[in-house]
Chains A and B, each alone.
Chain A
Amino acid sequence: MQLTVWTYEGPPHIGAMRIANSMQGLHYVLHAPQGDTYADLLFTMIERNNVRPPVTYTTFQARDLGSDTAELFKSSALAAYERFRPEAMIVGASCTAELIQDDPGGLAKALGLDCPVIPLELPAYQKKENWGAAETFYQLVRAFAGTRAPAPGAARPARAAGDRARCNILGPTSLGFRHRDDVTEIQRLLADLKIDVNVVAPQGARPGDLTRLPDADFNVVLYPEVAQNAANWLKRTFGQPFTTTIPIGVTATRDFVKEVCDLAGIDSQTYLASERSRLPWYSRSIDSTYLTGKRVFIFGDATHAMAAARVASIELGFKVVGLGTYSREFARDVRQAAVQYGVEALITDDYLEVEQAVRELHPELVLGTQMERHIAKRLGVPCAVISAPIHVQDFPARYAPQMGFEGANVLFDTWVHPLMMGLEEHLLQMFRDDFEFHDGAGPSHLGGHGGAREAQSGADDIAAEIAATTPAPLATPGSTDTVVLERPAVAAADEVGGWATEAEQELRKIPFFVRGKARRNTERYAADRGIKNITIETLYDAKAHYSR
């Protein structure tokens, strides 16, 4: 039993729904109680889909239990088939139906429907959403491409001379972080390289298209969380190699181009010589000097977190102070990546643990999911979203890929924007006593006083929560089922020691945008040492202690 407040991933059948919703001509019959229909809103509200997801729920009730839930499944499956006439169906159970063991696969088979029916076994009490998506995609690929499996050991026929190389793009799904635009960007890149795209799947594919997967020379795996299992099987079965570089950031995109060209047997140099990304120059331009060594905390799915760490460290010159993921399936990869940055990977699906880590590491920028956005907002730290789970804001109207050279431009803008501009930082300090540069005036790029107000309202949230939870003890760090916030340092410090008047005045001379941090650091420093009264001395001792 795990105590959970917010979850990074839904149950595995949500992963299956994402695959069903990505494809055309596929219908999912899910044995589930009525409340589980909430999942429709993920697609229609968050992703703003203009049609309902292709899912039929049996919505069994207590009175059906023990009598005719199996009958209900059959009639639902039949009605769904007759109404939607899908090319193929997937059938399975949600967490509750798993317990009543009706065997949707067997029941659907008994109906003898005139379309392929693929049964899904998604253990709801062990696995989660991304695993469910990967398993569903793998089962579909096996079912449709499996019919074409050559005899074991048969050599893969060579591509005819003069034919252009062909690849599949595997992994983009509904509810994926910027998958829509990534696919466009990568398709453009492949077109420029004169590599043909055979099938994109699951996004936009029909079940029949999966049968054509073996026609490609290799697979481009964009999102291993979804496509790795299928790619492994295609390699084993058809000898199709797959890419391992995720083209997020300039350097990774260059590596990806090389990898793809190697697989296609073509030259990559000409293309790379004409590469057009603004990131390298923007990052070298003098204004970006202030980005140097900015402490960044990164958390997300494994693919996006690892890619973000690379970009942050070697393309923007940040210092990665924390790296983690909720994708346990890829924990090993993330641990390895973390070693390069000299940090220990945080592998958890408990957002309170992530919050704890952010508090302890004092980053200047957080790159994370919507959960980390809220954590960062509360702590007054700038943040950009890099990964699912997502929010309606993560489906922007504009073109905003994360991948490829255009994606790198997007990363530069979205990660640097929340930070204070370099020159502006000096100007603000220089004019800090000018009435127009008073403390309340946030940076103009955050929309009027937005920045200041956001930090302020974050503080209010905390204050309100303290009021509601007083007297709350300090949380035990690292505990898996902590459900109480650690009391913010501000409150804790009241007990340890107050600020001497001169120290408080000195603190006001520190520019407002770093003052909060200076205050927190000093209080933490004082608290750690049991200092009762914070003096100017303490302030500068703390500054020296925390300066890098």
Chain B
Amino acid sequence: MTSVLATAKALPKEACASSERPVLRQRGQREVFCGLTGIIWLHRKIQDAFFLVVGSRTCAHLIQSAAGVMIFAEPRFATAILDERDLAGLADANEELDRVVGRLLERRPDIRMLFLVGSCPSEVIKLDLSRAAERLSVQHTPRVRILNYSGSGIETTFTQGEDACLAALVPELPSCESSTPRLLVAGALADIVEDQFGRIFAELGIDDVSFLPPRKSGDLPAVGPGTRVLLAQPFLTDTAARLQERGCEILTAQFPYGVEGTTAWLATAAELWNIPRDRFDEVIAPAAARARKALDAHKFRLSGKRVFFFPDSQLEIPLARFLHEELGMFPVEVGTPYLNRQQMALDLDKLPSETLVSEGQDVERQLDRCREAKPDLIVCGLGLANPLEAEGFTTKWSIELLFTPVQGFEQAGDLAELFTRPLLRRTRLEV
């Protein structure tokens, strides 16, 4: 551990950009998915939206492979694979795109919102999807709204795809000029989690609550100067900026993982609504107590264990906070694809000062550091997990943290369990 820290301390000045906490920045191979991956959960969330990637065979293969188990019920996503003819002339490519979209919409009359999702190839050839979306919207209005965003690997990593998608939705949101405070929760959550939060807010007396993205594209929440935005996911930089442009106020809160995280997150809203603290405590007490009990069952297994995060989903910092503060783990290194200091501030503050925070990646050198640090648990992407297991490490695939409902009180135990399971498994196996 000291030598990992030594690595960080020995950094040349320019690599440590911040005055507060040194952040290790290295350049090399990044081992993270691109933003297209978000389609896997977004298409389940917005039930009448379709995601059309305009890209290459690689893009289609990525989504298929990252989805792991192929969801063979007809998915609401597809790839328009560019071929040589499309590369030869943009005019033709645009015409082809119009044709593909036309046929798609003809065959899927249930679709109310279509996202044209840009990829590296579409961006490099400068296929202008925002103009295509405008052009096609005119053709298909009012039945279908056509929007666009980029999920390309040259612009976005993994969860930034969701950020880009939600940011594209913001200009579509209706306006509400009233200055009466209303709450907007931004970031895709599992429906069950959304409903739990909805009930808590209602009990607290915060009635005007909406969620972005909505489950139906027709239910877009209205925003305006009265809107207070609580971010449910730690990767919504652009979405927050767009909402701010619409006059919304973005709250800075801890992210809702575990008892402390969830309490702090809810309290941020409660304070703004001037809900007395004892009323707040009363409302959350039963769920918080259940969550605490659930966490206790895991604490003895995790406490004192050292954890190492490879950059992946952008959830790393708040999760490290949760594991440290609530379960007594020690984060050796917390890698994150990029660091949004403002949004992460409260979670970042709670990490021990010895924890090395790294932004971006040189996967080979990070693996060297990880091997040297010998953590008890490694949180990493799918490509790295088995080779690290084979070296004798215990790993947790980070993608599961996105596909499983993990936020809020009722999921706190499930979240802890995701980290306990691999450790427990090690102790059981005798082969």
Contacts and interface: CB of A to CB of B under 8 A. Distances in A.
Interface in A1-52: 1-7, 9-11, 13-14, 33-42, 44-45, 48-52
A11 B58 contact: yes
Contacts of B96: 1
A38 B33 contact: yes
B57 A128 contact: yes
A4 B81 contact: yes
A2 B33 contact: no
Interface stretch (B68-76, B295-303, B346-354, B416-424): B68-76
The 9 closest A-B pairs by CB, nearest first: A35-B34, A40-B383, A35-B153, A50-B390, A33-B153, A95-B56, A96-B120, A374-B72, A41-B382
B383 A38 contact: yes
Contacts of B124: 65, 96, 99-100
A5 B79 CA distance: 6
A548 interface: no
A5 B47 contact: no
Contacts of B364: 79, 83
Given A3-B78, A96-B154, A473-B109, A11 B56 contact: yes
B73 A481 contact: no
Interface stretch (B59-67, B190-198, B207-215, B253-261): B59-67
Interface of B: 28-37, 47, 56-62, 64-66, 68, 70, 72-75, 77-84, 86-87, 93, 96-97, 99-100, 103-104, 107-110, 120-121, 123-125, 152-155, 157, 364, 381-387, 389-390
Contacts of A125: 56, 82-84, 86-87
B119 to A, nearest CB: 8
Contact of B34 (A9, A34, A76, A378): A34
Q: How large is the interface on A (under 10, 10 to 19, 20 to 34, 35 or more residues)?
A: 35 or more
Interface stretch (A332-340, A464-472, A511-519): A464-472
Given A33-B120, A40-B383, A483 B108 contact: yes
A56 B33 contact: no
A124 B109 contact: no
6 contacts: A4-B78, A10-B61, A39-B383, A65-B124, A96-B153, A125-B56
A482 interface: yes
B56 A96 contact: yes
A57 interface: yes
A56 B110 contact: no
Contact of A37 (B32, B78, B99): B32
A99 B33 contact: no
Contacts of A50: 386-387, 389-390
Interface of A: 1-7, 9-11, 13-14, 33-42, 44-45, 48-52, 56-62, 65, 76, 79, 83, 94-96, 99-100, 123-126, 128, 370-371, 374-375, 377-378, 461-462, 464-465, 468-473, 475, 481-485
B66 to A, nearest CB: 6
B62 A36 contact: yes
A33 B382 contact: no
Given A50-B387, A378-B72, A461-B73, A95 B121 contact: yes
Contacts of A62: 123, 152, 154-155
A49 B66 CA distance: 17
B386 A59 contact: no
A1 B64 contact: no
Contacts of B80: 1-4
Contacts of B34: 33-36
A395 to B, nearest CB: 12
B87 A35 contact: no
B254 to A, nearest CB: 29
B383 A41 contact: yes
A3 B108 CA distance: 14
Given A35-B35, A49-B386, A95-B120, 8 more contacts: A1-B86, A4-B80, A36-B62, A38-B33, A57-B29, A83-B364, A125-B82, A481-B100
Contacts of B100: 1, 3, 481
A126 B56 CA distance: 10
B327 to A, nearest CB: 27
